[in-house]
């Protein structure tokens, strides 16, 4: 490896940016360059560049700011930073966005401008990937990477006698998996074991909350299953306000775990320990050491996600079937992206289903490469639908169970919502790993300020928390516009709202779109009550909130 160091930073919520960052890390490895790939919030860019003058910052961003870049964002825009803070930094910025957003790749553009202000040296103009392009962001990413490597290798040539590692050569795995003797039982830490938290629960240390109730709140004749789920958070140290969100770490269903292990010929109860291949590489968080294969597949590997291009690229290296290998290589090539989209993304084909389609390649996957091949299960965010002022030591969420059809015969199901809906607290002590993050909605500090809340469907969840909180504080200026399909089938918290209307704490307007011949939506009710809305805005300085 060359001594020059690359630092690849990403801000990612859905995993797209992280996948691209890891691709960049692999390509750096092929060019014999030392490379660290990490989330934006985990790095101090200014002090890092003082320690390593030959540093590349490649920041990969989304159209909206992901949670794992908020601290970085606040830091990099501090007015106290000297104008030449980053004068030793060579950098390139790649934005991954969607041109259907009004501010297309605004975050990437703003960051590029700020790095220039701080004295950074751009290797290339800012690149703006667009999800709306026929080939997706790769239409920009592929040529950008070619230009980037030309620049880097011109600045930092390969050491004498070394060549770029061919794409035909499979890079070593990030970790090696060492099986333990079967007669060596070891306790493993479980995410779902209740424990007194040492600090406020977070992604690396979630709280295993007990499920108190799991109630379907839509009629059984209604097309959608929506659940009101309540958690006991006593002793967790968790606090939250109206507008905050709870992050939930889901798990794969037992049937999928069993199928995966059978396909890859893995023994579910075998224990193993992981060892990093490169010194300085940290072990995956939330994976106990030692761990079982079953725990790894159940809690960590996202076998229900739609696989990305990098999955097919790596799988092709293991294939023992020429026919399968050719198809996998086509899916991982720039020219094969349209066909990959048609095969995978459009019908939402899962990783597990793809593995079924390539059986000769699947059974040849070395266990060492499991964590390189399949991303970890990402936490899901839900609006908190209750207030601690109304329900102390409890938390409620409203969950629409995701289920839809594509051209595939088997219906598509949301991993987290399906898992949550399956939990039955009457069958024992059921736990869910969770933690709280600050949400984007802040309600007025002055209790006299009225609020207008527009929450169709499950979008009403954060407003239920806000109304509970404001009623507990004696606030009466609460105006809610709620919409759903049928009054008798999906009118969430109907009795609760009607009681608050009777007590004078709530002004409620409803729109039931399918209860009459002509469809009626919340915007119709807003227009009908325009005089009241304008009065609240112009005379009483009301705040307006929309969720849905």
Average of pLDDT values for 200-211?
Answer: 95
Tell me how many degrees the CA angle 485-518-523 measures, rounded to the nearest 5. Answer: 65
At 142-192, the pLDDT tens digits run 999 999 999 999 988 888 999 999 999 999 999 999 999 987 766 555 545
What six digits make up the tokens of 30?
């092929």
Q: Does the fold of domain 254-373 match that of domain 207-250+379-437?
A: no
Instruction: State the Cα–Cα distance between residues 542 and 470, nearest whole angstrom.
Output: 14
Cα dihedral: 488, 493, 494, 498 (round 10): 180
Nearest-CA neighbor of 290 among 272, 270, 266? 272
| Consecutive H or E run containing 208 | strand 207-216
- Say which CATH superfamily domain 254-373 falls into: NADPH-cytochrome p450 Reductase; Chain A, domain 3 (1.20.990.10)
CB 416 within 8 A of CB 227: no
Q: How confident is the model at residue 75 (pLDDT cuts 50, 70, 90)?
A: confident
Coil, strand or helix at 314: helix
Across the chain, what does the average pLDDT equal?
90
String of DSSP letters for 337-386: HHHHIIIIITTT--HHHHHHH-HHHHTT--GGGHHHHSPBPPPEEEEB--
Which of 45-49, 88-92, 452-456 bottoms out in mean pLDDT, i.e. has the lowest? 45-49
Coil, strand or helix at 20: helix
| Consecutive H or E run containing 257 | helix 254-263
Count of C-beta atoms within a 10 Å radius of residue 292: 18
Phi, psi of 128, deg, nearest 5:
-125, 95
Residue spans of the domains in the chain: they are 5-155, 207-250+379-437, 254-373, 451-546
List the CATH code of the domain at 451-546: 3.40.50.80
pLDDT value, residue 281: 87
Domain covering 5-155, topology? Rossmann fold (3.40.50)
CB 272 within 8 A of CB 371: no
Count of C-beta atoms within a 10 Å radius of residue 469: 19
DSSP state of 502: H
pLDDT exceeds cutoff 50 at 61: no
At 376-406, the pLDDT tens digits run 999 999 999 999 999 999 999 999 999 999 9
pLDDT value, residue 72: 75
Nearest-CA neighbor of 228 among 379, 423, 389? 423
Average of pLDDT values for 235-249?
Answer: 97
**Chain centre distance of CA 356:** 26
Average of pLDDT values for 299-308?
Answer: 97
pLDDT exceeds cutoff 80 at 59: no
The domain 207-250+379-437 is placed in CATH, from the list 3.40.50.1820, 3.30.300.130, 1.10.10.10, 2.40.30.10, at: 2.40.30.10
pLDDT value, residue 381: 96
């Amino acid at each position: 490896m060359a001594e020059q160091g690359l630092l690849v930073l990403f801000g990612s919520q859905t995993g797209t940016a992280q996948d691209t960052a890891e691709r960049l890390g692999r390509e750096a490895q092929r060019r014999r360059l030392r490379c660290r790939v990490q989330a934006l919030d985990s790095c101090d860019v200014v002090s890092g560049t003082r320690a390593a003058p030959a540093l590349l910052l490649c920041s990969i961003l989304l159209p909206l700011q992901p949670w794992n870049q908020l601290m970085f964002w606040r830091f990099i825009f501090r007015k106290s930073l000297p104008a030449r803070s980053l004068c030793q930094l060579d950098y390139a910025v790649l934005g991954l966005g969607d041109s259907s957003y009004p501010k297309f790749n605004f975050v990437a553009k703003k960051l590029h401008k700020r790095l220039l202000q701080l004295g950074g040296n751009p290797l290339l103009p800012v690149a703006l990937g667009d999800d709306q392009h026929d080939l997706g962001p790769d239409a920009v990413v592929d040529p950008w990477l070619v230009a980037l490597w030309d620049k880097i290798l011109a600045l930092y040539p390969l050491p004498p006698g070394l060549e770029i590692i061919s794409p035909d050569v499979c890079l070593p795995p990030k970790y090696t998996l060492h099986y333990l003797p079967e007669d060596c039982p070891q306790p493993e830490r479980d995410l779902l074991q209740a424990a007194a938290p040492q600090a406020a629960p977070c992604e690396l240390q979630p709280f295993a909350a007990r499920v108190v109730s799991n109630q379907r709140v839509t009629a059984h004749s209604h097309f959608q299953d929506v659940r009101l789920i309540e958690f006991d958070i006593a002793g967790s140290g968790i606090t939250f306000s109206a507008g905050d969100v709870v992050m939930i770490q889901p798990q794969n269903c037992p049937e999928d775990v069993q199928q995966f292990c059978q396909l890859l010929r893995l023994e579910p109860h075998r224990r193993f320990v992981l060892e990093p291949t490169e010194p300085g590489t940290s072990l995956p968080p939330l994976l106990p050491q030692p761990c079982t294969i079953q725990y790894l597949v159940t809690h960590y590997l996202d076998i229900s996600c739609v696989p990305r291009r990098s999955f097919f690229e790596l799988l092709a290296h293991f294939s023992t079937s020429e026919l399968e290998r050719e198809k996998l290589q086509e899916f991982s090539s720039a020219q094969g992206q349209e066909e990959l989209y048609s095969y995978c993304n459009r019908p939402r084909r899962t990783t597990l289903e793809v593995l079924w389609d390539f059986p000769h390649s699947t059974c040849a996957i070395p266990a060492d490469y499991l964590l390189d091949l399949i991303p970890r299960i990402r936490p899901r965010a839900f609006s908190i639908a209750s207030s601690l002022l109304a329900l102390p030591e409890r938390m409620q969420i409203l969950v629409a169970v995701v289920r839809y059809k594509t051209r595939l015969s088997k219906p598509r199901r949301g991993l987290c919502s399906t898992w949550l809906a399956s939990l039955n607290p009457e069958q024992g002590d059921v736990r869910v790993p969770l933690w709280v993050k600050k949400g984007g909605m802040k309600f007025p500090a002055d209790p006299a300020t009225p609020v207008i809340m527009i929450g169709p469907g499950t979008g009403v969840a954060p407003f239920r928390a806000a109304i509970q909180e404001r009623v507990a504080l004696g606030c009466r200026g609460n105006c809610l516009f709620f919409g759903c399909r049928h009054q008798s089938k999906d009118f969430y918290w109907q009795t609760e709202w009607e009681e608050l209307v009777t007590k004078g704490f709530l002004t409620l307007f409803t729109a039931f779109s399918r209860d009459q011949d002509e469809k009626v939506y919340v915007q119709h009710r807003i227009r009908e009550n325009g005089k009241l809305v304008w009065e609240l805005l112009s005379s009483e300085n009301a705040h307006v909130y929309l969720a849905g």
